[in-house]
A and B are shown apart, each in its own frame.
Chain A
């Protein structure tokens, strides 16, 4: 509720207010400096854990919990990386597995969600809005509620212990990305579609040569976020992959941690290796990230 600000009643009050306004301006400058200082202090709190991660990955074991804390190791132990990635944490095997899942799953998500979003936005049919409400309704069902039947089904199909439960569902569209793409497709000009239809274009033509080129920013968001979903997914691999040869990076890292709880230097080297592609992606595609979050409020 907005409180209506009372209009000034007397000339004296107006004058007092004018004076205060100039004070506010001065405070504005000082305020800005204060804002900057506050933000820098807290930004340090947000960055230090990451810097500490990097620092630890280059330390000697003795320096990890040294008092006072060692920020710059006496000697930079770059060998922690090859040591971690070849012995405790078979990086290339896990990377291969992650990509075997992520590449088809991302492709499946993008293609199927695009088709479905088109059907919900650019084709008119009876009952469309009702069906779309059902799709939105499915977003309200927590994964925990449907988890057991889905797991039991995959177990009975003998899909547990394979990549299939992590790949196949992606080909049936993701309600969230369908919603995102539909909103975007709806905004595209109808005249273009009408003109194309007059020229005899079919729906696949319109989708491919009008809607898709105009919706590149939204498609980029889906591509980026579904790739991140797959790269960082922990729960899916945790319940479906029971063989170390099938582990993804995320579950492999967890496995490394469970078996070598105190090998902090190599653990941090492995963690940075798993995290850095996501950070690099973020720096390369910062715009897409920000757009994606503001479109949808996705990552809560």
Chain B
């Protein structure tokens, strides 16, 4: 009894903000309505609409592209920096702070900052690339370059991934490195045959977390590109938002919410399955 009293707030919250919405989201996805009006039953109509809606597929494809590039890139970069930041060198604490500090900048502020940095003429990025003889890139105004720009922005916010990796790296027993060293392993071999297998559960954790996050990416593309140009960065979440709060198609948006749930759930299950062959648990 005492236990139930303590968890009562969560039970109420669960009923109100999880169970009821989950049940209603199923119901709403079979209806058509605009917030205030009574939902009209349309059966599988919303799913039919989505199936034939070109923008829905564009949004799904864009999100998949964003996941495919940003997740591995962020993961590799974070692992790379974490391995280096784990080496005993002077100024290590300050260096760690440099890599983490962008993560605490509110995403609205950093999004606005990146619009300025990506400015085609006179923007800091193009000016820096210009030093290497690279011609001005129309980052945010070209359908070909907007997605790479959004992926690059994600690379700026990998501070947490680095810290999670660092925590994992510090748990690798030093004796393993010593043993491998005695057997003649070089630095790169140490990373390949000791570090990576030992922290493979952490890699999987960061990978899944990154994928779940990337599937729902909203604020950066919403502010930086608004989904453009020519829908090149129209992410799934942006299109869901547009259907819900611009067109007020609440039934359709609920259906999209469920498709996203299935999408994320599927990706997670696949990763867990595939990872069994590569992840080494003690």
Instruction: List A residues at the B interface (Cβ < 8 Å).
Output: 1-3, 5-8, 16-17, 20-21, 24, 27-28, 31-32, 35-36, 38-40, 42-43, 46-50, 52-53, 56, 64-69, 112, 115-116, 118-120, 123-125, 128, 131, 134-135, 138, 140-153, 155-156, 169, 171-173, 175, 178, 203, 228, 231-232, 234-235, 239, 249-251, 253-254, 257, 264, 267-268, 271-272, 274-275, 278-279, 281-282, 286, 289-290, 293-294, 297-300
Check A150/B102 contact, CB under 8 A, given A234-B107, A267-B112. no
> Contacts of A36 on B, CB cut-off 8 Å?
89-91
> Contacts of A299 on B, CB cut-off 8 Å?
103, 159-160
Q: Could you tell me if B183 and A144 are in contact, using CB atoms closer than 8 angstroms?
A: no
Binds A, one of B20-28, B53-61, B141-149: B20-28
Q: How far is the CA of A53 from the CA of B116 in the complex (A)?
A: 9
Q: Could you tell me if B9 and A142 are in contact, using CB atoms closer than 8 angstroms?
A: no
Q: Could you tell me if A173 and B2 are in contact, using CB atoms closer than 8 angstroms?
A: no
* Residue ID in chain A nearest B223 by CB atoms: A254
Known contacts A20-B184, A135-B10, A275-B106; 14 further A-B pairs (Cβ under 8 A): A2-B197, A39-B85, A49-B113, A125-B2, A144-B260, A145-B258, A152-B28, A169-B13, A172-B10, A172-B13, A173-B9, A275-B110, A279-B104, A300-B210
Q: How far is the CA of A69 from the CA of B119 in the complex (A)?
A: 12
Q: How far is the CA of A188 from the CA of B17 in the complex (A)?
A: 31
For the complex of A and B, the 4 pairs showing the least CB-CB separation, nearest first, are: A172-B13, A119-B6, A65-B122, A125-B3
Contact of A300 among B13, B17, B206 (CB under 8 A): B206
Q: 25 A-B contacts, Cβ less than 8 Å apart? A: A2-B193, A2-B198, A20-B186, A31-B187, A36-B89, A46-B102, A65-B121, A66-B122, A116-B9, A125-B4, A131-B7, A142-B216, A144-B237, A145-B257, A145-B261, A146-B22, A234-B106, A253-B109, A257-B108, A271-B112, A275-B104, A282-B104, A297-B206, A300-B210, A300-B212
Is B275 interfacial (CB-CB < 8 Å)?
no
Interface string of B84-116 (1 = CB under 8 A from A): 110111110001011111111111111011111
Interface size class of B (residues with CB under 8 A): 35 or more
> Contacts of A28 on B, CB cut-off 8 Å?
187
Contact of B9 among A39, A56, A172 (CB under 8 A): A172
Q: Could you tell me if A271 and B109 are in contact, using CB atoms closer than 8 angstroms?
A: yes
* Residue ID in chain A nearest B218 by CB atoms: A235
B179-196 residues at the A interface, CB under 8 angstroms? 179-187, 193-194
Q: How far is the CA of A216 from the CA of B163 in the complex (A)?
A: 21
B152 to chain A, nearest CB (A): 11
Q: How far is the CA of A251 from the CA of B253 in the complex (A)?
A: 23
Instruction: List B residues at the A interface (Cβ < 8 Å).
Output: 1-7, 9-10, 12-14, 16-18, 20-22, 24-25, 28, 35-36, 81, 84-85, 87-91, 95, 97-110, 112-117, 119, 121-124, 127, 156, 159-161, 163-164, 167, 179-187, 193-194, 197-198, 205-206, 209-210, 212-213, 215-216, 218-219, 223, 237, 240, 244-245, 250, 253-254, 256-258, 260-261, 264-265, 268, 278, 280
> Contacts of B5 on A, CB cut-off 8 Å?
119
> Contacts of A124 on B, CB cut-off 8 Å?
3
Check A69/B109 contact, CB under 8 A, given A1-B280, A2-B193, A152-B35. no
Check A46/B99 contact, CB under 8 A, given A145-B22, A169-B17. yes
Contact of B161 among A123, A173, A231, A300 (CB under 8 A): A300
> Contacts of B212 on A, CB cut-off 8 Å?
142, 300
Q: Could you tell me if A69 and B257 are in contact, using CB atoms closer than 8 angstroms?
A: no
> Contacts of B257 on A, CB cut-off 8 Å?
142, 144-148
Q: Could you tell me if B254 and A282 are in contact, using CB atoms closer than 8 angstroms?
A: no
> Contacts of B100 on A, CB cut-off 8 Å?
282, 289
Which residue of B101, B213, B278 has the most chain A CB atoms within 10 A of its CB atom?
B101
A16 to chain B, nearest CB (A): 8
Q: Could you tell me if A171 and B9 are in contact, using CB atoms closer than 8 angstroms?
A: yes
> Contacts of A56 on B, CB cut-off 8 Å?
116
* Residue ID in chain A nearest B190 by CB atoms: A24
Contact of B89 among A2, A32, A64, A231 (CB under 8 A): A32
> Contacts of B2 on A, CB cut-off 8 Å?
119, 123, 125, 203
Q: Could you tell me if B127 and A69 are in contact, using CB atoms closer than 8 angstroms?
A: yes
Q: Could you tell me if A46 and B9 are in contact, using CB atoms closer than 8 angstroms?
A: no
Q: How far is the CA of A235 from the CA of B245 in the complex (A)?
A: 12
> Contacts of B181 on A, CB cut-off 8 Å?
21, 24
Q: How far is the CA of A125 from the CA of B7 in the complex (A)?
A: 11
> Contacts of B206 on A, CB cut-off 8 Å?
297, 300
> Contacts of B187 on A, CB cut-off 8 Å?
24, 27-28, 31
* Residue ID in chain B nearest A120 by CB atoms: B7
Which residue of B107, B127, B160, B186 has the most chain A CB atoms within 10 A of its CB atom?
B160
Q: Could you tell me if B20 and A149 are in contact, using CB atoms closer than 8 angstroms?
A: yes
> Contacts of A6 on B, CB cut-off 8 Å?
183
A161 to chain B, nearest CB (A): 13
> Contacts of B121 on A, CB cut-off 8 Å?
65, 67
> Contacts of B17 on A, CB cut-off 8 Å?
146, 150, 169, 172
A49 to chain B, nearest CB (A): 6
Contact of B102 among A17, A49, A119, A235 (CB under 8 A): A49
